[in-house]
Structure 1
Amino acid sequence: MHDTTHERKIETNFAQGLAQRTPTISYISQEQIKDIGGVVELECSVQYAQDYPVLWMKVDRNRITEPLPISTGSSLIIRDSRFALRYDTASSTYTLQIKDIQETDAGYYQCQVIIALNNKISAEVDLQVRRPPIISDNSTRSLVVSEGQSVKLDCYAGGYPPPRVSWRRENNAILPTGGSIYRGNTLKIASISKDDRGTYYCVAENGVGKGARRNIAVEVEFAPVITAPRPRLGQALRYDMDLECHVEAYPPPAIVWIKDDVQLSNNQHYSISLFSTADEFVDTTIRIITIEKRQYGKYICKAANKLGSDEAEVDLFESIIPVCPPACGQARYDGGAAAQITTSMALVVITVLLVFMHRPLDTHQLNDQRVRVLGLLADTHCHSTSACGRVIEEN
């Protein structure tokens, strides 16, 4: 009788000892990295927790919002067909399964054992969801700067794994930093020049999807730069001639032609044209119509914008033979009538020939040679447009 009572006391003390053991979490899954649409299983094993509630909670990564209860014990709280819960009594393991993983499923999943109102034990597993890069709104979009300024282009991207950011230029042009690729979130240009203008590409890649790219337009404002491809040109009297300048500037400049300190305009003597070949490039041409003596001399093309001005000179001088173009179609000889080539031009040619031949001619012979030269010039230079003289240039 005594032995039986003693055994019962030992069993009672052992049971009370078990009941008084503090619950513990013996195992929690390690960090999980999954693709969108995949499946993940999160495990939590507990000990001495038979009489305590065991919960799965989703915790905001930034701890801003309240934790979201998912399950308690072996029952799901959340109503989502993608979630399932298994409980293994042998190992006291609660397994939370999530199918068709979405980007919003990423975060901390916390296994909790509630011991008292203000007392719990917990362990977390981090679920990372691979997602393609997305370039953030706080990245640079476009920029307009003045030449010489320092410039900073920023590019930030979200995604998992964290994206790597690199910079390129259109057509793989050399970057201001040197080379065709620069790696990093910020591209700095210490003193930007007009040659640095154009499109820059911010590229974010992390091995998920095709990556992301943003085109950043960089406009550089600069003062005009003018070049005259043919600074000295010749043309015969009573013929047309084109003078040309190439202008490079941004913002687009005001362009004028000047002669003898007078700004020229379109009229019966001049025709001015502008042609934009690109955003920063303009070709300007002035045609002098039926040239008169007073129209020979220096012409100035001038361009100006808010950053400065530039000018170039083109010198027009008198030549003997008409220049083609633009005079190709002006002189025609129908029925033997010389419309544009004058007697004086013929006499000049004869005189030149005589100097080289050392042959004196009387008046009758001079007239015969004059008629012959007139016919020769008409037939050779102006009857066919392809036979007219080329542009006469002097450097």
Structure 2
Amino acid sequence: MVITGRLRVQILILIMLIASTERTFAKLEQGETTEAIEEENNELEPMVISRGPYFVKSASKNVTAIVGKTAHLSCQIKNLGDRTVSWIRHRDLHLLTVGRSTYTSDQRFVSIHNHHSDDWTLQVRYTQRRDSGIYECQVSTTPPIGHSMYLSVIEPVTTVLGGPEMFINRGSTMNLTCIVQHSPEPPPSIFWTHNSQEINYDSPRGGVSVITEKGEITVSYLLVQRAKDSDSGKYTCNPTTANPASVVVHVLNG
């Protein structure tokens, strides 16, 4: 096989990227934190700036994403010139993208870059828990320079207190409490269903209301006054950014 000059350069870039990543990974295994490595990189930044490309580190943040949603890791590079930008996953030292090309069979990973922009973004679609970890944006200088950030993929937990079954007396007030935890931000909305039908709080039945308190832990209260036999059944709390949770209510005579 004839190795062209361009292919030789690409092979050299790949070797340098892997070598740089292995050094960073070794530091992490020895107990160094990403902050310590970042501080070391900061000390070298004046030299990086003087010889060419450098990272705008304030534009790159750790990212928290919800399972199944899309995550974006941002990397801003000044004075890039004709160098190549690559994204590497530290967990297995896997080269994900080079330039705007994806170098992995996992097509959930996409490199996004607009011409004349300093921003290089790694898009991770349909995130999974196993995607959590350190990702590095690298530039093909000699030696390569890199900037690492952490992606945390979490799965919010929804719980209806008192489940899976509740028993209440006819004529009493039914109070169903739904709790959403471990979400990077409160769900935009929560709706309740009764036997798979969305509850209409303005229905002729009356006496049905909901109170939702948003925060690090979001709580939604469904209140049904003067419970009667027809109020028995399956109630489901449906946050827009988390899995639903249900409880079966039995209205008892007396």
TM-score, normalization: structure 1?
0.28
Name the larger-Rg structure.
Answer: 1
By relative contact order (CA 8 Å, sep 6+), the higher-ranking structure is: 2
TM-score, normalization: structure 2?
0.40
